[in-house]
Amino acid sequence: MFTSLSDRLSATFKNLRGKGRLSEADVDATVREIRTALLEADVALPVVRQFTATVKERALGVEVSKALNPAQQIVKIVHEELVGILGGETRRLRLAKTPPTVILLAGLQGAGKTTLAGKLALHLREAGHTPLLVAADLQRPNAVDQLSVVAERAGVAVHAPEPGNGVGDPVAVATSGIELAKAKLYDVVIVDTAGRLAIDADLMDQLKRVRDAVQPDETLLVIDAMIGQDAVQTAAAFDEAIGIDGVVLSKLDGDARGGAALSVVTVTGKPILFASVGEKLTELETFHPDRMASRILDMGDVLTLIEQAEKAFDAEQAERMAAKVAKGDDFTLEDFLEQMTSLKKMGSLTKMLGMLPGMGDMKAQIESIDDRELDRVASIITSMTPAERADHTILNGSRRARIARGAGVEVSAVNQLVDRFVEAQKMMRQMRAGGGMPGMPGMPGMGGGKRAKAKQKAQVKQGKGAKRSGNPAKRAAEESAPAAGAGLPGLPGSGPAGLPGGLGGFDQAELEKSLGELPPEFKGLLGK
């Protein structure tokens, strides 16, 4: 969503690096570039004017002139101001003191309210609530059926007494839904209303009557993040007509310029509560202004990445793996399959890597990653017998041919997986021995600088049965292979991190800062 804005801002700040002191001309040029970047991102003009004026005032102030690194100080100012126009602090749902909490969803036609209702219901169910979806959209064809399907996928209850398609009274449906929730002890009610045009007086009046009947604790406006400036006008119109408490941005994973997110809070004064970042029901995120500002400035969003990892990786599984490593047991293909399954629960690898700081310069490599490779690797491993998964050394030629036929791949794919897995085992053994992770010099506890490199090369050179080729090119390849890291075994075309495109060239300081708090299993799968 913010790719073009992020690229422009990153290029602007690069011009400031290396300058020990910034002149007023430097500040003016930087602010001018920021203004252009925001306008190109379709941010509302009043917001751009206010933002750039504040940044310029602070950039010419004492806090920059006395800073040890003025360029970094300006980045800090821009980050703080971005957080401000995005809402400042994270706004959570307000729950009623006496259940049920009633949430009314409103928005234009096609904004994605029905799907958002299912995502929000799943989000609340995972948080320990018992939500009830109410199908009060009786205008759009098959809207009631769609909500019923979404509710089933989310594993929540739905109240749909009317068939819809123009039949039924939405006020009566919403009211009976509240009564059902009280009787059945549902603690949250999400009312899905019909999409409407802001200029449609009849439909807006209907929405007012639904609001008055259910007295919602939260009235949330669902805005399509891809409609640009119209999002601000829509939010203002709905706020004037029915009064909204917050905004939910849908389709934030699209390729639009993102100006809606940067404008709606300042113009309407209403906070953004959630952001829909994909088509799956699980792809709904609580909107954190500080984290979104960091993403825009290519500073990453490691906190969200950690939260996703904590959800995906089972604590019991992590303890079992840690105990296995501590006892000296080898990392097996069965273990790898289990951890890869957990990794897939976190979502797209492209999105996860995009949350790491400094990934702006590697967009092409990240976007080339094919998540289907994980499925191919899983199909290869599941085509093996339990004995083969436990001991890969028994995989002779005939076994590999049988596995390839079972997985529907070439034998070369099986060979690549096994080769990568051998490197992963070496990495786990080195971690157990306290030698750190291959290919990660300079990181605490993960190998260390020149000594680690020398030790690693010595281990390769003095390994059992190891022979150096007389061909200089082949010998160089042999010596560098173990140091390349294990990464994700079996991904064709993998680079040092085991990912397509060779994503091993991360900035070491940024990686140390970013990956320090991630679960060990996650770091192991990334080859870090």
pLDDT at 151 over 80: yes
Helix and strand element counts for the chain (H, E): 25, 8
Write out the binding residues for GTP. 107-114, 192-196, 250-253
CA separation for the pair 149, 195 (Å, rounded): 18
CA separation for the pair 430, 447 (Å, rounded): 9
> Which of 197 and 482 is assigned the larger pLDDT?
197
Q: Cα 392 vs. chain centroid, distance in angstroms? A: 34
Looking at residue 254, its pLDDT comes to: 62
CA separation for the pair 336, 381 (Å, rounded): 9
CA separation for the pair 452, 449 (Å, rounded): 6
Write out the binding residues. 107-114, 192-196, 250-253
Q: Which residues contact 181 (CB under 8 A, 6 or more apart)?
A: 99, 100, 132, 187, 189
CA separation for the pair 282, 273 (Å, rounded): 16
> Which of 194 and 4 is assigned the larger pLDDT?
194
CA separation for the pair 35, 176 (Å, rounded): 51
pLDDT band per the 50, 70, 90 thresholds, residue 298: low
pLDDT at 84 over 80: yes
CA separation for the pair 157, 321 (Å, rounded): 37
β-sheet bridge partners, residue 136: 193
Percent of the chain with pLDDT over 90: 18
Q: How far is CA 22 from CA 57, 70, 117, in A?
A: 14, 7, 49
Percent of the chain with pLDDT over 70: 64
Tokens of 198: 């802001």
User: Strands 101-107, 218-224: parallel, antiparallel or unpaired by DSSP?
Assistant: parallel
Q: Which residues contact 21 (CB under 8 A, 6 or more apart)?
A: 70
pLDDT band per the 50, 70, 90 thresholds, residue 359: low
pLDDT at 411 over 70: yes
Looking at residue 389, its pLDDT comes to: 87
Q: How far is CA 14 from CA 10, 78, 106, 218, 321, in A?
A: 6, 14, 42, 43, 43
Q: Which amino acid is at 425?
A: Q
Q: Which residues contact 525 (CB under 8 A, 6 or more apart)?
A: 339, 340, 343, 488
Under DSSP, the state recorded for 494 is B
Looking at residue 322, its pLDDT comes to: 66
Lowest mean pLDDT among 166-175, 214-223, 334-343: 334-343
Per-residue pLDDT averaged across 43-47, rounded?
83
pLDDT band per the 50, 70, 90 thresholds, residue 370: low
Per-residue pLDDT averaged across 390-419, rounded?
89
Lowest mean pLDDT among 169-173, 331-335, 479-483: 479-483
pLDDT band per the 50, 70, 90 thresholds, residue 321: low
CA separation for the pair 308, 262 (Å, rounded): 25
Per-residue pLDDT averaged across 316-340, rounded?
70
CA separation for the pair 71, 35 (Å, rounded): 17
| CA dihedral for 288, 291, 297, 298, sign (positive or negative) | negative
pLDDT band per the 50, 70, 90 thresholds, residue 145: very high
Q: Where are the beta strands (DSSP E) in 91-145?
A: 101-107, 131-136
pLDDT at 515 over 60: no
Tokens of 168: 């039924």
Domains of the chain, residue spans: 3-85, 101-288, 359-525
**Of 266, 218, 263, which Cα lies nearest the Cα of 245?**
218
> Which of 514 and 235 is assigned the larger pLDDT?
235
pLDDT band per the 50, 70, 90 thresholds, residue 487: very low
pLDDT at 246 over 60: yes
CA separation for the pair 39, 8 (Å, rounded): 11
CA separation for the pair 249, 70 (Å, rounded): 35
Helix (H, G, I), strand (E, B) or coil at 481: coil
The pTM of the full predicted model, rounded to 2 decimals, is 0.62
pLDDT at 387 over 80: yes
- Mean pLDDT over all residues of the chain? 74
**Of 527, 289, 296, which Cα lies nearest the Cα of 424?**
527
> Which of 492 and 380 is assigned the larger pLDDT?
380
CA separation for the pair 504, 527 (Å, rounded): 9
pLDDT at 328 over 70: no
Looking at residue 227, its pLDDT comes to: 73
Looking at residue 461, its pLDDT comes to: 45
Looking at residue 18, its pLDDT comes to: 66
Lowest mean pLDDT among 110-124, 202-216, 350-364: 350-364
CA separation for the pair 67, 369 (Å, rounded): 40
Token pair 């047991």 is found at 329
Per-residue pLDDT averaged across 240-248, rounded?
88
CA separation for the pair 191, 287 (Å, rounded): 21
* Fold held by 3-85: Four Helix Bundle (Hemerythrin (Met), subunit A) (1.20.120)
β-sheet bridge partners, residue 220: 105, 246
Per-residue pLDDT averaged across 222-230, rounded?
77
* Fold held by 359-525: 434 Repressor (Amino-terminal Domain) (1.10.260)
Determine contact, residues 439/527, Cβ cutoff 8 Å: yes
Backbone angles phi, psi at 105, to 5 degrees: -100, 130
The CATH superfamily label for domain 101-288 reads P-loop containing nucleotide triphosphate hydrolases (3.40.50.300)
CA separation for the pair 470, 47 (Å, rounded): 66
Lowest mean pLDDT among 32-36, 201-205, 230-234, 343-347: 343-347
> Which of 302 and 240 is assigned the larger pLDDT?
240
DSSP per-residue letters across 252-318: TTSSS--HHHHHHHHHH-PPEEEEE-SSSTT-EEE--HHHHHHHHTT---HHHHHHHHHHHS-HHHH
> Which of 253 and 378 is assigned the larger pLDDT?
378
Per-residue pLDDT averaged across 495-511, rounded?
38
> Which of 137 and 301 is assigned the larger pLDDT?
137
Looking at residue 525, its pLDDT comes to: 42
Looking at residue 452, its pLDDT comes to: 42
pLDDT band per the 50, 70, 90 thresholds, residue 181: very high
Per-residue pLDDT averaged across 440-456, rounded?
39
Q: What is the pLDDT of residues 50-71, one digit of tens each?
A: 888 988 888 887 666 665 577 7
* 480, 483, 488, 490: CA torsion to nearest 10: 30
Determine contact, residues 108/234, Cβ cutoff 8 Å: yes
β-sheet bridge partners, residue 158: 133
pLDDT at 348 over 50: yes
